[in-house]
Amino acid sequence: MTKLQLDVARQWVAGLFAQHGAATATARSVAAALIAAEADGLKGHGLSRIPTYVAMLKSGKIDGQAMPTLRRPRPGVALIDAACGFAYPAIDLACAELPAMARTSGIGMAGITRSSHAGAIGLHVERLAAEGLVTLFFANTPHAIAPWGGSKPVFGTNPIAFAAPVPDRAPLVIDLALSKVARGNIVAAQQKGEAIPQGWALDAEGRPTTDADAALAGTMVAMGDAKGAALALMVEVLAAALVGSHLSMDASSFLDATGPPSETGQSIIVIDPSSLGHGQFGQSMTRLAAAIESQPGARLPGQRRLAARAAAAAEGIEVANALLDQFGAV
C-alpha cells in the first residue's frame, strides 16, 4: 500500500480518468466522489470502482464526454439528463440548483435520468444538508433483489439516503442500501478473494452462499425481508418510473463493461425547514441528538464515518500498489 494525501489522491484519480476519455470537469467530479467515499471508509464506493469505471469508459458503456442538461418543467421541479455519462456531474448540477428552488418554493425535487452508479449517496445529501436543507435521495440500481416470495431479481439494491442539518455540528446522515449490505461490499470481497458472511446473498439457485462470485451471479437478500423488498419497490417508483429512467430489471450491470449504458435514475427531494414557519426545527434536532447520545452505547448514525474522514484528512488514504501499477504512479 502507498499512503497519499487527499489532494494528491484526487489529482491522481482525476488525471487517470481524463487519460481514459473523460472530460476534464467530469474527471474531477468522479475523483472527488471516489476519494470522498474512500476517506469515509466506504471502500465499496471508493477506489475499488476505478477498474470498472475505466473499463466502462473504454467500452462506451459510460460516455466520458457527456454533459448533463437541465430543464425546469415546473417551478419546484428539475429534470436532469445525465446523457449516459457518469452520475456525478448530474448530481453536482442538481446540488447546485436545488437550494435556490427550496428557498423559493419551500421544497424542490430533481429527477436524474439516463444515469449510472451514484456512489456513496450519503455524501450527496450531506452537501445539501450543509445548505440547511432536509434532503432525501433515492436511486435505483441494476436488478439484484427478488420480490418477496419470488426467485428472479426485479429490484436493485436501491439505496436511500437522508440528511438533516443539526445546529453547530455535522449534519445527520443516514445512507442505506435495501439489501442487507451494499452490493459494493461483495464486489470488494470478490476483488480481495475473501468470503462474505452468511445471510448476505443467495446464489443463482436461491441457496445461501458465502462465495462472492456466486453471490454476484445470484441475488441479494433484502434488508428486513418482506419490508425491505417493499421499500425497494417504493424506490423503483421514485427513482425510475417517476423520472423516466430504466427500471432495475432493464438496467445493465454497474459491475462490468459489457452491454449498453445502464440508464438508471435518481430522485433528490429537498425541504427548507424554515418554510414551515414554526422556527423550532434546529432546537428539535439538537434535543433529538442529545436524547440519543445521552444513552450509553447509543450514537447518531455516521459517527464512525466522520472519524474515518478526520483521520484521512490528517493522515491520507492508502492506495493499493497494484492499482498504482495498473493506472500509473502518482
Long-range contacts of 71-76 (CB under 8 A, 24+ apart): 75/101, 75/104, 75/105, 76/101, 76/104, 76/105, 76/107, 76/108, 76/109
Q: Does the pTM of the predicted model rise above 0.85?
A: yes
Confidence of residue 272 (pLDDT cuts 50, 70, 90): very high
**Per mean pLDDT, which range of 90-94, 162-166, 189-193, 299-303 is the poorest?**
189-193
> For the segment 110-162, what is each residue's pLDDT rounded down to a tens digit?
999 999 999 999 999 999 999 999 999 999 999 999 888 777 899 999 999 99
- Per-residue model confidence (pLDDT) at position 174: 97
- Per-residue model confidence (pLDDT) at position 180: 87
Domains in the chain, please, with CATH? 2-179+222-277+304-327 (3.30.1370.60)
The mean per-residue pLDDT over the stretch 191-212 comes to 89
The mean per-residue pLDDT over the stretch 222-245 comes to 95
